Amino acid sequence: MDKQDKVDLHRRRLINFGVAGAALAGTTGVSAAQAKPQSVRWDMQADIVCVGSGAAACSAAVTAADLGDKVILLEKAPVFGGTTRRSGGVAWIPNNFSLRAQGVEDTEADCMRYMCRYGFPERYRAEGENFGLEPFEFARLQAFYRNAAPAVARFNEIGASHFVRFELPGGVGPSPDYAASLPENKVPKGRAVWPDPKVDGGRGSAIVDHMIAWLEKHGGTALTDHRVVRLIQKQGRVAGVEVEAGGKRLNVRAKKAVIFGSGGFAHNPQIAQRHLDPIYGACASPGSTGDFIPMATAVGARMDNMRSAWRTQVLLEEALENRVIGRALNIPPGDAMILVNKHGHRVVNEKRNYNDRTRVHFVWDPVRVDYPNQFLFMVFDQRAIDVYGGSYPFPKNARESALLIQGGSFAELAQNVQARLDKLAPRIGAVQLAPDFTRQIEQSVQRFNGFARQGRDDDFKRGDAAEVDWLAYFSRPRAGQEDKLQGMANPTMHPFADSGPYYALIVAPGALDTNGGPQIDAEARVLDAEGRPIPGLYGAGNCIGSPTRSGYFGAGGTIGPALTFGYIAAQSAHRSGAA
């Protein structure tokens, strides 16, 4: 069996383990961890054992080592990095060093208002205690605000990272938040940082590689191909982990704590289907199979936020071929482009951020007893390819893409879209365009053309200042085509051509990763069913119930909290002392 076969075997075992473990969530009997004998022979030991190797686990490991703790980091995959390695490496860090250097005041009160309003809109009360949140929810966001900037500053200070302000290309400047126009947002730009592209090229791989190198240089141990399969308890405290490596089982002692910073469950279809609205694919690492959920459940952990994910749209046919997608539909390129549902209706601001925009897929129609937006259709004209070809998902040439559906008119396009849906029916079920789809899409395009000419989208407010800024990142024209962007009052919109060809791509809901799992408190301690900390067990990143819930505050809205709560977990574990 070669190395790749072993990796594939590990993935199948992980999925099976996740299904079996998830079934424990409704039981109250003796867990597997508690049923084992208390006497354990330890093969390795450290003060802190970190599980995973993305932003959360690396942050915890570096922080623990910086505090003087002996650290072992365990990664089940053959390479370090998890989903962070696949990311752009941007981290949303309030009140960061760059803001302060520019004299921008990002106060705790104002930032808390923004985070509470965005993450908990149905409970937000501007004048209420804790802005309407439960005390423990408020405390976690407060811990994020108070620790995010110190964490990143410390990583830079000790040389474990080289974070700088994240700026959009073309001289646009610092990136705007994803809800920059909310009145509660007093600092709409500049909270995002990333690895210095002049030093290490930016991207998430730089976060991981620098932190792993720093950890090993400072006495820590980092191991790949070490899959944690069980938590070991002694006298009610998590004392270590059981690990599968090289065909053997090893016991690794954690004198102070075990900190999980592993992935979510985006690639465990059984758990995902049980808890989530459908996701057809995810950008997460293949190892994001929810390993922490059954292990934490077995020691009595409370679950949180299980119906949530960091969402993005995906191209349906790409996701059907491989659930582990290479690229997500972050913010669609193009100006003569709209998203319509199976009734031919435009249903969303196409330039809204990926996490918020994707949630429109889950609208329920109680009259038709149906999800009218289950799949959406990205419709655009030839000019979109001519000007923006090569900006994902537009091909440089229409003949290059097998996923592109074409029609000389909207009627022909509708006919060809339905033919593609019929072909996919064995995999997605029977999906029928509305009988008047052609008439409705013609009306939708005509209405959109009017908005483009007047420069104002009266239906979905497309083209606010933040969305215009993001054009430089997601909607770059081809070289030599820049002059075709002139003359429109709103650069995010342009009228469709009066005649075809027209094109469509089938768009489905997907995810970056999930963000539900064991609940933590403001010190990143995993809580039991009664809301009490489980001694010796901490969590951060996508494997736990997100303290920010579904609020994606800006670019780096996943990595920022992961880095911060990894930092908090290590500090809290260090203070707890050895068992």
Note the pLDDT of residue 487.
81
Task: Please tell me which residue, 34 or 277, carries the higher pLDDT value.
Answer: 277
User: Could you tell me the two tokens for 517?
Assistant: 């799992």
pLDDT at residue 396 greater than cutoff 60: yes
State how far the Cα of 60 lies from the Cα of 83, in Å rounded to an integer.
16
At 486, the pLDDT band (50, 70, 90 cuts) reads: confident
Please check whether residue 285 is in contact with residue 323, taking contact to mean a CB–CB distance below 8 angstroms.
no
State how far the Cα of 347 lies from the Cα of 516, in Å rounded to an integer.
27
Across the range 279-305, mean pLDDT stands at: 97
Across the range 508-528, mean pLDDT stands at: 98
- Cα dihedral 172→178→179→181 (10° resolution): 10
491: left (phi over 0), alpha (psi -120 to 50) or beta: alpha
| Residue where the block lists tokens 């937006």 | 373
pLDDT at residue 135 greater than cutoff 90: yes
* pLDDT per residue as tens digits for the range 435-445: 999 999 999 99
State how far the Cα of 333 lies from the Cα of 395, in Å rounded to an integer.
11
State how far the Cα of 55 lies from the Cα of 89, in Å rounded to an integer.
9
Note the pLDDT of residue 38.
56
The whole model's pTM is what? 0.92
Tell me the average pLDDT of the chain: 93
Across the range 387-404, mean pLDDT stands at: 94
pLDDT at residue 65 greater than cutoff 90: yes
Task: Please tell me which residue, 199 or 573, carries the higher pLDDT value.
Answer: 573
Element (H, E) at 410: helix 410-428
At 6, the pLDDT band (50, 70, 90 cuts) reads: very low
Note the pLDDT of residue 483.
85
Residue type for 300, please?
G
Please check whether residue 207 is in contact with residue 7, taking contact to mean a CB–CB distance below 8 angstroms.
no
At 29, the pLDDT band (50, 70, 90 cuts) reads: very low
Please check whether residue 48 is in contact with residue 60, taking contact to mean a CB–CB distance below 8 angstroms.
yes
Note the pLDDT of residue 110.
98
Residue type for 16, please?
N
CATH fold group of domain 1-27+43-241+256-308+515-579: FAD/NAD(P)-binding domain (3.50.50)
Domain ranges of the chain: 1-27+43-241+256-308+515-579, 312-511
At 22, the pLDDT band (50, 70, 90 cuts) reads: very low
At 402, the pLDDT band (50, 70, 90 cuts) reads: very high
User: Could you tell me the two tokens for 52?
Assistant: 């995973």
* Cis before 94 (ω within 30): no
State how far the Cα of 404 lies from the Cα of 507, in Å rounded to an integer.
11
DSSP per-residue codes, 68-123 = T--EEEE-SSSSS-HHHHTS---EE-TT-HHHHHTT----HHHHHHHHHHHH-TTT
Note the pLDDT of residue 27.
31
* pLDDT per residue as tens digits for the range 301-347: 999 999 999 999 999 999 999 999 999 999 999 999 999 999 999 99
Please give the share of the chain, as a percent, with pLDDT higher than 70.
93
At 28, the pLDDT band (50, 70, 90 cuts) reads: very low
Note the pLDDT of residue 199.
86
The CATH code for residues 312-511 is: 3.90.700.10
Q: Which residues pair with 175 in a beta bridge?
A: none
- Give the best-scoring range by mean pLDDT among 31-35, 197-201, 400-404: 400-404
At 26, the pLDDT band (50, 70, 90 cuts) reads: very low
* pLDDT per residue as tens digits for the range 487-514: 888 999 999 999 999 999 999 999 999 9
